[in-house]
Structure 1
Amino acid sequence: MTDTDRRRMLAGSVLDPAWVEAVRATAGPYLFVADAVLLYLEPDQVEQAITLIAANFPGSLLAFDTGGHVMAESVNRNDVMRDMQVRMTWVCEDPAALEHLGMRLLDSRIFAQPQPVLRARMPLRFRALSLLMGVLFRRRVRAYRLNLFRAQVGSGDG
């Protein structure tokens, strides 16, 4: 992906605080996206990463996925994943439980629950399928979620 005046990519670990100053040197607003990243970290590393962002970028947005025990076990048994050395190790059944890390949960959805604006733009067959999946997976809503958080102002020493 190429850098633009609105997006800049930095190589490094989300766990290494060295990237914080490089990001702080640019004007906000900030949106941090961790897609299929946190799920593979240890629980204490996930807390470290979220706290690092919350403490240093109050008011920023953080989007990331969470998964429950059932999902992690299923993925780790998958033929492709079974042959790899990486495993899903962090499980989060309830994204709201992460708010103590200095982030406020703004939205959390399963794939079968797209935002109303997005659902309205979907072809009729996908809207219908989305509704059906929402009913079928209602009991498993904690399996895999897409979440949006906002860092609380004053949440850290930043």
Structure 2
Amino acid sequence: MVKLGAVQETMLLTLHARATNGDETARRLVGSIDYDFSVFEREQGLTALFHVLRSESYDEWTRQFLAECPHGTVVELGAGLTTRADRLDNGTATWVFLDLPDAAEFRRTLLPDADRRHTVTASVLDPAWPGAITVPGPYLFLAEGLLVYFQPPEVRTVLSTIATSFPGSRIALDTYGAWIVARPRGPLRRMEAAMVWPCDDPREVERWDAGLTLRESRQLTRPVPRTLPRRRRLALHAVNALAPPRMINLRVSLYSC
């Protein structure tokens, strides 16, 4: 049975969401991991869809970065079992997957390092972690499903460290409004990890004077992607029409350092 820290365990929720929405590598991994995924299957609903929509935004910004910087480096912070490199690798980019010791070792077991793919063991809360990134830039940092589990001062420190250590880089991150952080939904209600960083406005990060400038921000539920199955499109339209704004304030944002 898999044994991971509380926050690290959330990688399995994200993995399962991708597996049930067409990611073949994620599906293969779910089938090989000794873990009870049934709790996710019982409560996946909109939560799984939000994970997929979030991942698609990160994918889009990664494609843009690689189109502009084909020899650049994509650094996934709190990488978990991300399969983005399998989906988007262009044959020349470098991929770095940074995570805590248990998660990094788990990743190496299932997704071994290869040419241009490197797993790094480090905590983003350790101010020395930038020293573990030894490959050249330019850099795109992805903090998918990570920073919401940190206290606000910790989030500020992480972002300031990136801006100071990697000037000219970009970072994508997701934010959750205060109402959502205080009321976890779906499988998160049954997991030990707790969301603790509420952010109702992604421009708040700019006001921290951490060296970041907002390039783009998008709400996960709008616009409704036409590529979704009809049933899920209708569900999202209903959510957008009926839910108070505070209940769907989930955003993905891209910043320049």
TM bucket by the smaller chain? 0.7 to 0.9
Displacement, 1:76?
7.8
Unpaired stretches in structure 2, ≥5 consecutive residues? 1-110
Match of 2:252? 146
Match of 2:63? none
TM-score, normalised to structure 2's length? 0.48
Higher helix share: 2
Q: Is the 8 A contact 1:76 1:87 kept in 2?
A: no
The percentage of aligned residue pairs carrying the same residue is 35
- 172, 176, 181: which is aligned to 1:72? 181
Q: Deviations over 1:106-146 (max 9, x none)?
A: 2222222259xxx46x1572556555544445723872211
**Which 4+ runs in 1 deviate beyond 6 A?**
none
Distance 1:38 1:74 in 2: 17
Match of 1:97? 204
Unpaired stretches in structure 1, ≥5 consecutive residues? 152-158
Q: Is the 8 A contact 1:93 1:142 kept in 2?
A: no
Whether 2:113 is the aligned partner of 1:3: answer yes
Distance 1:148 1:3 in 2: 27
Distance 1:2 1:114 in 2: 37
- 134, 139, 161: which is aligned to 1:30? 139
Q: Is the 8 A contact 1:110 1:146 kept in 2?
A: yes
Select the structure with the greater relative contact order (CA < 8 A; seq sep ≥ 6).
1
Distance 2:247 2:169 in 1: 26
Whether 2:146 is the aligned partner of 1:40: answer no
Q: Report the CA distance shift for 1:60/1:7 in structure 2 as closer, same or farther (over 3 A).
A: farther
Whether 2:162 is the aligned partner of 1:53: answer yes
Q: Is the 8 A contact 1:110 1:145 kept in 2?
A: yes
Match of 1:19? 129
Equivalent residue pairs, number: 143
Displacement, 1:20?
0.9
Return the letter of the residue paired with 2:153: D
